[in-house]
Structure 1
Amino acid sequence: MVETVLGMSDLQIKLFTAIGQILVAAAVGIIALRQWLTARNKLKADLFDRRYKLYVDLGQSLQRIVEGDSSAVVQMRRLLAEARWLFGEKTAERLRKEVGNPFQMLAEAKDAAWSRTAGSDQSKLAQEHLDAMVPASQAALVLPKIVAPHLSLKH
């Protein structure tokens, strides 16, 4: 064997070179793993933000329906359609059935009451409105329970 720099043989130099390459590859692997975990956590945070925004917007839209704003029904439908992509099909279907339908019925009862106010019995209209308010009020209480499992950063 031929001695080279610092009294090491050619074989020892190749061994240290291989160890150095392995260490560099391990460092690159660790950096890649950390970047992947960071990107994954950012995706979770972004999804949380979008889900929470939809939840808040839906709550505001439902409040506007209660106040008699007929344009809020269109916004509610759009938000419920968007829920499919943010919460999944099962949760979106629950939202449509348990929240959207009662508020749709409330909006229809309000519209019917407004169109029949002239010459109608006010107490009957008030009763129809109250009858539609009961399921809508219950739906408003169900809304947080439906979306709560999805509003977490642990998924």
Structure 2
Amino acid sequence: MHISASITTPMQILPTLLVGFAAAFIAWQQLQVAQNKLRLDLFDRRYKVYDATRKFLASIFSNATFTDSQLFEFYAGTSDAEFLFGSEVVDYLAQVKYRALNMLKYQKIYECMPAGEERSRHVDAAFIERSWLEEQLTAITKTFTPYLGFSHIQ
């Protein structure tokens, strides 16, 4: 009996090993699925920030100004940026906000002024801010591509 016990032991171990390898493979596959889902969820949240910024810039481009509701939508759409992006994107969004508010400030100032040199300075300042903001419609892609691009996915 001692000989038959040594023969059946490897036969009993083989199914256990196969089940163990199958369980490890399934766990590895679940890890891959979880990582891909995290990437997709992160992409969706980041894209919403990109889209809010793009829409805000497009409204400035088409109207040469923006409304309070458009500014609120931009703020609401980009409020999570510091948790989703690196400092370069967060700083970029702060610059967009700053320059948009500057543009609006200059516009409000020169609307009430009579024609003259001081009014022209405010018109020029508003134009510089608006021009920078309009250029961002194409430059925004470069800023967001490292976070939204698919070149790193195999």
Instruction: Tell me the TM-score normalized by structure 1.
Output: 0.77
CA contact (8 A) 2:52 2:78 kept: no
> How much has 1:53 moved relative to structure 2?
2.2
For residue 121 of structure 1, what is the aligned residue in structure 2? 115
What is the aligned partner in structure 2 of residue 38 from structure 1?
33
Cα deviation per residue 1:1-41 (whole Å; 9 max; x = unaligned)?
A: 357xxxxx122212111121111000000001001101111
Matched with 1:92 is 90
CA distance in 2, matches of 1:127, 1:90: 28
Look up the equivalent residue of 1:27 and give its one-letter code.
Answer: A
CA contact (8 A) 1:106 1:133 kept: yes
Instruction: Name the CA shift for 1:138/1:109 in 2 (closer, same or farther; >3 Å).
Output: same
Structure 1 residues 106, 90: closer, same or farther in 2, change over 3 A? same
Structure 1: gaps (5+ residues):
4-8
* Residue segments in structure 2 that go unaligned for 5+ positions in a row: none
How many residues are treated as equivalent by the alignment? Answer: 146
Q: Specify the alignment match of 1:54 in structure 2.
A: 49
Name 2:132's counterpart in structure 1.
Answer: 135
Q: Indicate the SS of the match to 1:121.
A: coil
Contact 2:106 2:123 in 1 (8 A): no
TM-score between the two structures when normalised by the length of structure 2: 0.77
Aligned equivalent of 1:63? 58
Q: Which amino acid aligns with 1:79?
A: G
Which of the pair has more CA radius of gyration? 1
